[in-house]
Chain A
Amino acid sequence: MRVFVPISVGGWARLFSRWDILAILLILGLLVFLGEASRHLFEPLAELQRTPPSLDPANLPEYAARTTLRMLVAMALSLIFTFTYATLAAKNKQAERLLVPLLDILQSVPILGFISVTVVFFMALAPGRVLGAEFAAIFAIFTSQAWNMAFSFYQSLRTVPTELVEASRNFRLTPWMAFWRVDVPFAMPQLIWNMMMSMSGSWFFVVASEAISVGNTTVTLPGVGSYIALAIEQQNLRAVGWAIGTMLVVILVYDQILFRPLVAWADRFRYEQEPGAAAPRSWVLDILRRSRIVERVTRPFAVLWRRLLLPRHPDNVEAITRAPRPRHGWITFQLGLMVFALTAFALWQTLRFFTESITLADLGTALLLGLATLLRVIVLIAFASIIWVPAGVWVGSRPHAAVVVQPIAQFLAAFPANVLFPIAVSAIVAWKLDPNVWLSPLMILGTQWYILFNVIAGAAAIPAELRAAGANFRVRGWLWWRRIALPAVLPYYVTGAITASGGSWNASIVAEVASWGDKHLEAKGLGAYIARQTDAGDFHRIVLGIAVMSLYVVVINRVFWRPLYRYAERKFRLD
């Protein structure tokens, strides 16, 4: 059973290694750098005036195409990142020690809060303004896709069976050839699964990144996301409906013509073939495979690809042995020195940046607000668990239901919270509810589904023999849940809950402040704090908010989720 792997579960037994600290410092330094850069580059943006998109549904196909293109470009970048970063981490012991914690911290950074900063940064970088905004949007989407893909690839590379590695070395495959013929194929099924997850997850960022206002500047890119933003601003419920419909169609289309074929095609790369499991099928792939024209068109490319993989110079067969590469102790030393210098610089920059205008009181405020958001996340995850664990077990125990529910859950996971603002805000205003309580559910709107479909996967993986044994001994009711169902799904549940909890923190930036036309609601929390500072264009406090939120996410992962995952993994793994 393929399961989305949250990055934060691997690693060492110690809570924080010095490599974690290094990683934290480096990322903090990067945030500060971007914030600093953007602050100075902020002024010229004021001139930027662009025609806002219109709410005419006739524009939606074009918007949808543009949005999808952004997501696909980001996906391509994520793949490049995955193949380089994860490969370096997996193949180089020295690099691994820093790169893995770095990735772990990176994925805890709520990039949603940082979009404003990156927009300004990229717009200033790019010569054409529009191009800059596009870069920023693509970068934001990229950050929502890349981390888990890279982590999945890294995990796969580390688990390539020893015999395959030995075989490829014994037959003297060049590293380039071994990468494409052994490593990548082995990692492919898990990677494609993570690509699908990433694509779902990035919708949230599409909506946030296409229409962004920093201070009094608003940047809008034509797309589904900016369409939704405009519809919310103009209180046009019908347009929101159109946008949701468009999203649904887009998701269905890329699922059918991109991901289904990929999954069906990647089935051959599965190393362990579970007998009895039906191979995934795709009508698109079937058509492509059977078509003569497609074969004729692709054959030259296939041949070219194979040529590319061949060693550039024919191996000197006379040479008896190939000496191992000498160890570059000197280079390692230099790299270490560089990392050290970079970290020191990051530390210095960070201290300077914060001491410039941030007081201890600011830090206290952010930490306190973080507690409020933490409370929300805990309560919401608890609620979602109470609802979705039983539901997931029920669905997972019925294969026919699982086939129907799984894709729906995956669609719902793509659902950005913003589109529900109209209902939430109207209801809260109409019934005079407390936004501190009633805005919270928006945070978990998109992320709760990770719990559901992981639990479904877990329940579906309970061996038929165990079920039969339970039935045979007449284990029923609460006893059945306590002794069979819950232990069996626990590892899967934890996996889903880690993702859901991390996602909820991120979503709080959007969900703790909601507006519908001229009605604005705000809940007290760190997400709202970041959102407010973004509106005000206060880069110091944006960075502070993001740093504090990252800190919360990392600490909670390390002290709570990671130990729980290890425990569940050790005790309840069914294979």
Chain B
Amino acid sequence: MSTALLDIHGLRHTFPKADGGDLLVLDGIELEVTQGQIVGLLGRTGSGKSTLLRLIAGLAQPSDGSVTYLGQPVLGPAPGIAMVFQGFALFPWLTVLENVQLGLEALGLPEAEIRKRALAAIDLIGLDGYESAYPRELSGGMRQRVGFARALVVHPNILLMDEPFSALDVLTAETLRTDFLDLWGDGKLPIKGVILVTHNIEEAVLMCDRILLFSNNPGRIIREIGVDLPQPRNRLDPRFRDLVEKIYVAMTARTPAAQVERQITINTVLPRVSANLFSGLIETLAAEPYHGKADLPVLADELHMEADELFPVAEAMQMFHFAEVEGGDIKLTDTGKQFAELGTDDRKKLFQKQLLAYIPLATHVRRVLQERANHAAPKSRFLDELEDHMSTEDAEHTLRAVIAWGRYAEAFAYDDDAGLFSLENPT
């Protein structure tokens, strides 16, 4: 029963950087997928899990290491590996039937068989009656069903799912998940294994047999968690909650130890978190029922935020020493509690103090501005510096984050038209 469908060994992947260097996005990935498993790749945005999925699909080649499918190296898009996309990736000029048939046509099958198999897949996935509809006429949920039908119709051995439910509303996503799990459980799907990329912790626990946790920058597998709850799983089941909690702890555990201790430098990639979100979260934490301390899964639930949205805020609060994150909990520091009680102007002052004390890039920008005779410096001055250490995109994001914080703190001003930092605010 345990034939390896897919074997990934020593995989490493880099993207070229603006300055000609390489940016490491995936490192030391080892993964084996056996028959009958749903494997979840869980991590934050930018942890390289979608990149890994594309390497498995043969859409790109790893810089190092190997991807082996049924004993053969994957050097290009392989038959038997089909993908379901986050944004559906349906061809708007083809009808539902034509979209589903496309993959079969590429296989060069006889027309009668193409039609028979396409109709069967449409039937299986619950799209009966929609055959001649165009994607634009369908709701998001129905569109993703087409995405599933299109992938299943080629009878792949491995189904790759790239956050397939994240573009759907909560109810629709849940229906699709349940339908998929039912078909999978009943053995009605012509597939042998599934790899699911997600940033939704509950989704991973609900669907997967194994969950691989990814770290950020570069993406590494930090932990593997097996899920042996029977299907169908109940979100309210204490064992389910325990697993969710366990994953939260695992995903936040290394943050204080590794990230903060490892000293934030000028070249640390900063999360773009608005000062409003800061204030809002600090106020929420300071008030009833949390009194300065909250369980992250509970907080995420309460605020209708996904872990992926909550983590950057928590991380930023930790950088500013407004809060500490450990073991799946977030706890306000004394400074954080003080911040909650201040008025608008005093908050800004405190924010400025923390910004200049703990965010080296902000301190650096301000020092450069003070040292220059005209108290001004072009954006490129800092962007070039950052790009030596991170991707162009990250550099832009990091600088934008500092600009937003600097503006809120009134630590420095920035004129986007001229691309110029200065110490003077318009009077």
Instruction: Identify which of residues 19-49 in chain B touch chain A, using a CB-to-CB cut-off of 8 Å.
Output: none
**Contact indicator per residue, chain A 296-334, by CB within 8 Å of chain B (1) or not (0):** 000000000010011101110101111110000000000
Which residues on B sit within 8 Å (CB–CB) of A177?
105-106
By CB atoms of chain B within 10 A, which of A161, A170, A173, A322 has the most?
Answer: A170
Q: Which of B69, B92, B106 contacts A320 (CB 8 A)?
A: B69
Residue contact A321 to B61, C-beta cutoff 8 Å: no
In the complex, whether B154 has a CB less than 8 A from a CB of chain A is yes
**Contact indicator per residue, chain A 165-179, by CB within 8 Å of chain B (1) or not (0):** 011011111100100
Q: Which of B73, B78, B83 contacts A167 (CB 8 A)?
A: B83
Which residues on A sit within 8 Å (CB–CB) of B260?
none
In the complex, whether B59 has a CB less than 8 A from a CB of chain A is yes
Residue contact B106 to A311, C-beta cutoff 8 Å: yes
Q: Please give the distance in Å from B18's CB to the nearest CB on chain A.
A: 14
In the bound complex, how far is the Cα of B134 from the Cα of A321, in angstroms? 32
In the complex, whether B312 has a CB less than 8 A from a CB of chain A is no
Q: Please give the distance in Å from A551's CB to the nearest CB on chain B.
A: 32
Which residues on B sit within 8 Å (CB–CB) of A164?
89, 91
Which residues on A sit within 8 Å (CB–CB) of B59?
166, 169-170
Residue contact B108 to A315, C-beta cutoff 8 Å: yes
Which residues on B sit within 8 Å (CB–CB) of A166?
54, 57, 59, 83, 85, 89
In the complex, whether A352 has a CB less than 8 A from a CB of chain B is no
Please tell me which stretch of A8-16, A265-273, A381-389, A557-565 contacts chain B, meaning at least 4 of its Cβ atoms lie within 8 angstroms of it: A265-273
**Chain B residue total in the interface (Cβ 8 A):** 40
Q: What band does the interface of chain A fall in when counting residues whose beta carbon is under 8 Å from B?
A: 35 or more
Quick one: given A172-B77, A181-B102, A323-B76, are A313 and B83 in contact (CB under 8 Å)?
A: no
Residue contact B61 to A167, C-beta cutoff 8 Å: no
Quick one: given A185-B93, A271-B92, A315-B106, are A320 and B78 in contact (CB under 8 Å)?
A: yes
In the complex, whether B74 has a CB less than 8 A from a CB of chain A is yes
Q: Which of B75, B79, B134 contacts A323 (CB 8 A)?
A: B75
Residue contact B77 to A170, C-beta cutoff 8 Å: yes
In the complex, whether B331 has a CB less than 8 A from a CB of chain A is no
Which residues on B sit within 8 Å (CB–CB) of A273?
92, 136
* Interchain Cβ contacts within 8 Å, total number: 103
Residue contact B75 to A321, C-beta cutoff 8 Å: yes
In the complex, whether B150 has a CB less than 8 A from a CB of chain A is yes
Which residues on A sit within 8 Å (CB–CB) of B82?
170-171
By CB atoms of chain A within 10 A, which of B80, B86, B102 has the most?
Answer: B102
Instruction: Identify which of residues 172-199 in chain A touch chain B, using a CB-to-CB cut-off of 8 Å.
Output: 172-174, 177, 181-182, 185, 188
Which residues on A sit within 8 Å (CB–CB) of B74?
320-321
Instruction: Identify which of residues 264-293 in chain A touch chain B, using a CB-to-CB cut-off of 8 Å.
Output: 268-271, 273
In the complex, whether B58 has a CB less than 8 A from a CB of chain A is yes
In the bound complex, how far is the Cα of B87 from the Cα of A271, in angstroms? 13
Which residues on A sit within 8 Å (CB–CB) of B108?
310-311, 313-315
Residue contact B77 to A317, C-beta cutoff 8 Å: no
In the complex, whether B257 has a CB less than 8 A from a CB of chain A is no
In the complex, whether B70 has a CB less than 8 A from a CB of chain A is yes
Residue contact A571 to B417, C-beta cutoff 8 Å: yes
Instruction: Identify which of residues 235-273 in chain A touch chain B, using a CB-to-CB cut-off of 8 Å.
Output: 268-271, 273
In the complex, whether B190 has a CB less than 8 A from a CB of chain A is no
Residue contact A322 to B107, C-beta cutoff 8 Å: no
Closest to A303 in B: B111
In the complex, whether B103 has a CB less than 8 A from a CB of chain A is yes
By CB atoms of chain A within 10 A, which of B72, B73, B107, B417 has the most?
Answer: B107
Which residues on A sit within 8 Å (CB–CB) of B69?
320-321
Quick one: given A163-B87, A167-B85, A173-B106, are A319 and B79 in contact (CB under 8 Å)?
A: yes
Residue contact A322 to B91, C-beta cutoff 8 Å: no
In the bound complex, how far is the Cα of B92 from the Cα of A270, in angstroms? 7
Closest to B72 in A: A320
Q: Which of A161, A268, A269, A324 contacts B76 (CB 8 A)?
A: A324
In the complex, whether B133 has a CB less than 8 A from a CB of chain A is no
In the complex, whether B109 has a CB less than 8 A from a CB of chain A is yes
Q: Please give the distance in Å from B76's CB to the nearest CB on chain A.
A: 4
Residue contact B107 to A315, C-beta cutoff 8 Å: yes
Quick one: given A169-B59, A185-B91, A322-B76, are A309 and B105 in contact (CB under 8 Å)?
A: yes
Q: Which of B78, B87, B102 contacts A321 (CB 8 A)?
A: B78
In the bound complex, how far is the Cα of B380 from the Cα of A230, in angstroms? 62
In the bound complex, how far is the Cα of B93 from the Cα of A270, in angstroms? 8
Quick one: given A269-B93, A321-B72, A321-B78, are A172 and B87 in contact (CB under 8 Å)?
A: no
Which residues on B sit within 8 Å (CB–CB) of A182?
91
By CB atoms of chain B within 10 A, which of A161, A171, A322, A323 has the most?
Answer: A171
Which residues on B sit within 8 Å (CB–CB) of A319?
79
Q: Please give the distance in Å from B219's CB to the nearest CB on chain A.
A: 19
Instruction: Identify which of residues 127-151 in chain B touch chain A, using a CB-to-CB cut-off of 8 Å.
Output: 134, 136, 150
Closest to A184 in B: B93
Q: Please give the distance in Å from B117's CB to the nearest CB on chain A.
A: 13
Which residues on A sit within 8 Å (CB–CB) of B417?
571
Which residues on B sit within 8 Å (CB–CB) of A306?
105
Residue contact A163 to B89, C-beta cutoff 8 Å: yes
Q: Which of A170, A310, A314, A317 contacts B57 (CB 8 A)?
A: A170
Which residues on A sit within 8 Å (CB–CB) of B73?
321
Residue contact B92 to A324, C-beta cutoff 8 Å: no
Q: Please give the distance in Å from A54's CB to the nearest CB on chain B.
A: 49
In the bound complex, how far is the Cα of B75 from the Cα of A306, in angstroms? 29
Closest to B135 in A: A273
Closest to B81 in A: A170
Residue contact B102 to A173, C-beta cutoff 8 Å: yes
Q: Please give the distance in Å from A334's CB to the nearest CB on chain B.
A: 26
Which residues on A sit within 8 Å (CB–CB) of B75?
321-324
Which residues on B sit within 8 Å (CB–CB) of A172?
77, 79, 103, 106-107
In the bound complex, how far is the Cα of B134 from the Cα of A70, in angstroms? 38
Which residues on A sit within 8 Å (CB–CB) of B150?
171
In the bound complex, how far is the Cα of B151 from the Cα of A294, in angstroms? 35
Q: Which of A171, A270, A314, A321 contacts B103 (CB 8 A)?
A: A171
By CB atoms of chain B within 10 A, which of A163, A271, A315 has the most?
Answer: A163
Instruction: Identify which of residues 320-362 in chain A touch chain B, using a CB-to-CB cut-off of 8 Å.
Output: 320-324
Which residues on B sit within 8 Å (CB–CB) of A310?
105, 108
**Contact indicator per residue, chain A 403-445, by CB within 8 Å of chain B (1) or not (0):** 0000000000000000000000000000000000000000000
Residue contact B72 to A170, C-beta cutoff 8 Å: no
Quick one: given A163-B87, A170-B57, A172-B77, are A269 and B106 in contact (CB under 8 Å)?
A: no
In the bound complex, how far is the Cα of B410 from the Cα of A96, in angstroms? 47
Q: Please give the distance in Å from A269's CB to the nearest CB on chain B.
A: 5
Which residues on A sit within 8 Å (CB–CB) of B154?
171
Quick one: given A320-B70, A322-B77, are A268 and B106 in contact (CB under 8 Å)?
A: no
In the bound complex, how far is the Cα of B102 from the Cα of A311, in angstroms? 12
Q: Please give the distance in Å from A258's CB to the nearest CB on chain B.
A: 20
Closest to A164 in B: B89
Residue contact A181 to B77, C-beta cutoff 8 Å: no
Residue contact A314 to B107, C-beta cutoff 8 Å: yes
Which residues on A sit within 8 Å (CB–CB) of B102?
171, 173, 181
In the bound complex, how far is the Cα of B76 from the Cα of A324, in angstroms? 6
Residue contact B89 to A167, C-beta cutoff 8 Å: yes
Which residues on A sit within 8 Å (CB–CB) of B85?
163, 166-167
In the bound complex, how far is the Cα of B81 from the Cα of A164, in angstroms? 16
Q: Please give the distance in Å from B380's CB to the nearest CB on chain A.
A: 13
Can you pick out 13 interface pairs between chain A and chain B where the beta carbons lie within 8 Å of each other? A161-B89, A163-B85, A163-B87, A164-B89, A167-B89, A169-B59, A181-B91, A268-B93, A269-B92, A269-B93, A309-B105, A320-B72, A321-B78
Minimum-distance CB pairs A-B, first 7:
A314-B108, A163-B89, A171-B103, A320-B72, A167-B89, A322-B76, A185-B93
Measured CB to CB, the residues of A under 8 A from B are 161, 163-164, 166-167, 169-174, 177, 181-182, 185, 188, 268-271, 273, 306, 309-311, 313-315, 317, 319-324, 571
Measured CB to CB, the residues of B under 8 A from A are 54, 57-59, 61, 69-70, 72-83, 85-89, 91-94, 102-103, 105-109, 134, 136, 150, 154, 417
Other 6 A-B pairs with CB < 8 A, given A321-B72, A323-B76: A161-B87, A181-B102, A269-B92, A314-B109, A320-B74, A321-B75
